[in-house]
Amino acid sequence: MNWANESSSKEFILLGFSDRPWLQMPLLVVLLTSYTFTIFGNVSIMMACIQDPKLHKPMYFFLTNLSILDLCYTTSTVPHMLANICQNKKTISYGGCVAQLIIFLALGSTECLLLTVMSFDRFVAICRPLHYVVIMSPGFCLKTAALLWLSGFSNSVLQSSLTISLPRCGHREVDHFFCEVPALLKLSCADTKPIEAELLFFSGLMLLIPVTLILISYGFIVQAVLRIRSAEGQRKAFGTCGSHMVVLSLFFGTAIYIYLQPPSSTSEDWGKMVSLFYGIITPMLNPLIYSLRNKDIKASFKRVLSRPFFVRNK
């Protein structure tokens, strides 16, 4: 008997930190603040990259995709979390739980692949500058982006199907803020080790292979930068990739902690905090990191914001 056959109409209870009522208000403030900054920051980057012709480059095309991902990523969980914090009854429907699981996992998987492609873009720009326009052509970028999204959602459907196929024997209390694979596995009343092994394999593919390719790309980048005689040139080259490396460390470090170990071995409270970090805090930090450390983005913001005033003066 699986989830759907057991009872698809029942609601699930999202426990979160319900055993610590004093954390509800601080959590509400953190979620509301981070979500507001996430929306404002990512929408600003999207508008700058789309409206400014000087940013119509492969790097900013993929940055736009990252902003779209982060915006959808947080929207799949935060609004419902905010509503539940404001209510005494912290529930989610069966359909809502499955939808949240699929969307959150799909966008997270797609982001893993997207960050890998962004590191490849930096590798080509620094190590193969004369071939950059040919390799990172508009057609290549569009096809790559489509493949990333398709692969992310395919992986999500596969992992979600394995997760919801387990019997749960009437268990309804999800010890988390939202429907995520490790938390849902703990609802099962059957032996989850075979499913955990399969999920670990697919999670490893989506996390370890991208991390390996990223490290290889940056290994070549470091070699190329060290060959630059000018200290100023080295500084600029490392600065270009610095923001990307910060994002990689934040995102992959926390995701690996959650998905590449058995759910039973993770501390429940610590697991919740880590999930909040890579699911909510990192998407908020992404636009801040890219905009504060990228001269082109900052210059674009100034041009986009000042354009209406110039129009009025004409």
pLDDT in tens, 281-292: 888 888 887 776
Per-residue pLDDT of the chain (314 residues; tens, 9 = 90+): 444 444 444 788 888 776 777 777 888 898 899 999 999 999 988 988 888 888 889 989 999 999 999 999 899 999 988 888 887 677 888 888 899 999 999 999 999 999 999 999 989 988 898 999 999 999 999 999 999 999 999 999 999 998 888 887 777 888 888 888 888 888 888 887 888 888 888 888 899 999 999 999 988 888 888 777 777 767 766 766 676 677 788 888 888 888 887 666 555 667 777 888 888 888 888 888 777 667 778 777 777 666 654 444 44
For 169, list phi and psi in degrees, rounded to 5: 50, 40
49 vs 297: CA distance, rounded Å: 8
Per DSSP (E only), the strands in 41-114 are: 91-93
pLDDT, residue 292, reads 66
For 24, list phi and psi in degrees, rounded to 5: -60, -50
- Asked if 35 and 290 count as a contact pair (C-beta separation under 8 A), the reply is no
Whether the pTM exceeds 0.85: the reply is yes
204 vs 243: CA distance, rounded Å: 25
131 CA to centre of own chain: 30
pLDDT, residue 209, reads 93
pLDDT, residue 288, reads 80
The DSSP bridge pattern shows strands 173-174 and 91-93 to be: unpaired
Identity of the amino acid at 300: S
User: Domain ranges in the chain?
Assistant: 3-304
> Domain 3-304 carries which CATH code?
1.20.1070.10
In the three-class reduction of DSSP (H, G, I as helix; E, B as strand; rest coil), residue 270 is classed as: helix
Q: Which helix (H) or strand (E) holds 256?
A: helix 231-259
Integer CA distances (angstroms), 283 to 43, 176, 273, in order: 12, 19, 15
- pLDDT of 154-186, one tens digit each? 999 999 998 888 887 777 888 888 888 888 888
15 vs 149: CA distance, rounded Å: 31
pLDDT, residue 116, reads 93
The DSSP bridge pattern shows strands 11-14 and 91-93 to be: antiparallel
Residue 233: which residues within 8 A CB-CB, separation 6 or more? none
110 vs 45: CA distance, rounded Å: 19
